[in-house]
Structure 1
């Protein structure tokens, strides 16, 4: 993130802001999705979902604290009221504590291919949140697209249930809950970003997430357990913290600031697409024709939601230039 300029300021030109936002959102989605591959490798060293989360948050926390200090020194000191602090707490718990923990738990039971497909549903969740919480109208095309999305997931789920066994239900429900939690995070973050800036919000929310993870770990485990893994596990955790947490989180918030929550959520579909063959190549997971068909069906539905007029819960277009 050279110079920090890639995600700290909205461009004066709307067209340039959109291009930068699309690039940030796409890059963030690909990097963020790669955490599933890294988690599967860490599981092989005896770690479970909570161990992976704790190492990830502990190693990324210094980066987010440094980011927060940098924003403070740059003069970004807009005071938050009680309601906004409460929003930060909720976002920190929803976005990168609860959603990530549920996702890692789900990955203990389902292959990366199934996790990837369920995460395709994230844009549909943002549309539904816009309908229920923000009074947004949903077009017939969007209802059709959402129905097709869920049909495609069901198609692959039935096959995986036959191949993987009944634990698929538990894992799929956990990943589904993770996708919904992250959609809530995206939908709720838009207006607060306009108020305090994307990078400052990221620093605050990730600090809350780290604190929540630490409390959870201390209640459930002995802290010494975190020092008992092979060096390879810590190397994977470091990659997870930097490339699959710090960078994609800041990139995604930069995309939300420029494009709105709906478009940012729709770009998240690019991440799962990037993992279509990685699970088979790196993890030896089986890829079938039915899985590819289901993926194509869901992706086609998601593309319908990305067309103009399909953005849920967008940030108001009157956001002032220079907002961070």
Structure 2
């Protein structure tokens, strides 16, 4: 009998997903570099990110809406898509960008990686999904890891200004993003993933543009040409390109494998922060990161359903 040597996960799908996860992890690095080089504010940087991302999502929205199998959304669904988009990529992103003014890129990524645990709590509270024994252990590992990494961060630099405020803002970002994830999981099966993503991003962009029109600092845009380069980099390399790569990864290797491979995110951010931002790597950070990643992998892992004996 010939034994198949085909890998469990196709190599192309693995590499596409890995690249998407690594590119997503560059967001905090680019934001920190932009703050240091241009002294801009979070709202201005976020506005530029969405400005350069806008043409891509408009194109996707037009494309999916013109297809023969396009699903016509109800008024309630339009409202829900707009609400989730504003929550997930306007409110969450603004909280994240402001928080990055006070915390390290490595700590930001670890705190953000709590969002899968918040999704579990939301599904249990609002959708009556039971928290399993494995999930309880996963939650324990995740929060223990964050605690270890956070104590280590305080030990390295106990005098850092705004550390608690920045951590709280990133924590709120993880909470609001988990609401987006939980809600999108309910509506995507009804309207389609591409259509939901495109219109949710457009709703978020409208919120950000409106916010900037009211209180934004337009003079900052004219004063710093390099700021536009950072905005373009955030749009292409940390938003549009990885979102399409991860979508392809989901198509090729499935959600479980994508969740597992995406565990590289915090590790990638910490490594990049060390090389590009000169942030220190310390033992508590490494140990906490390992526990957080293990906890998220347990939360993401879905065991195969039992099958009848042949």
* TM-score of the two chains, using structure 1 as the length reference: 0.81
Q: Is the 8 A contact 2:221 2:227 kept in 1?
A: no
Partner of 1:97: 90
- Aligned-pair CA distance for 1:216: 0.9
Partner of 1:31: 23
Partner of 1:8: none
Cα distance in 2 between the residues matched to 1:198 and 1:138: 26
Q: 1:36 to 1:104 in 2, by over 3 A?
A: same
Query: SS where residue 287 of structure 2 aligns?
Result: helix
- Aligned-pair CA distance for 1:248: 2.7
- Matching of residues 3-14 of structure 1 within 5 Å: none
Cα distance in 1 between the residues matched to 2:120 and 2:272: 29
- Matching of residues 148-297 of structure 1 within 5 Å: 148-162=141-155, 163-164=157-158, 165=160, 167-230=162-225, 232-252=226-246, 259=254, 268-297=262-291
Cα distance in 1 between the residues matched to 2:32 and 2:108: 12
Partner of 2:80: 87
* Gap regions ≥5 residues in structure 1: 1-15, 311-324
Q: Deviations over 1:297-316 (max 9, x none)?
A: 22222232233249xxxxxx
Q: Is the 8 A contact 2:35 2:41 kept in 1?
A: yes
Aligned length: 294
Q: Is the 8 A contact 1:54 1:217 kept in 2?
A: yes
- Stretch of structure 1 that moved more, 248-257 or 200-209: 248-257
Partner of 2:34: 42
Larger radius of gyration: 2
- Aligned-pair CA distance for 1:277: 1.1
Q: 1:172 to 1:264 in 2, by over 3 A?
A: farther
Cα distance in 1 between the residues matched to 2:106 and 2:135: 25
Cα distance in 1 between the residues matched to 2:220 and 2:237: 24
Q: 1:267 to 1:17 in 2, by over 3 A?
A: closer
Find 1:140's aligned residue among 114, 133, 145.
133
- Aligned-pair CA distance for 1:251: 4.4
- Aligned-pair CA distance for 1:78: 2.0
Q: Is the 8 A contact 1:108 1:171 kept in 2?
A: yes
Cα distance in 2 between the residues matched to 1:302 and 1:158: 20
Partner of 1:314: none
Query: SS where residue 276 of structure 1 aligns?
Result: helix
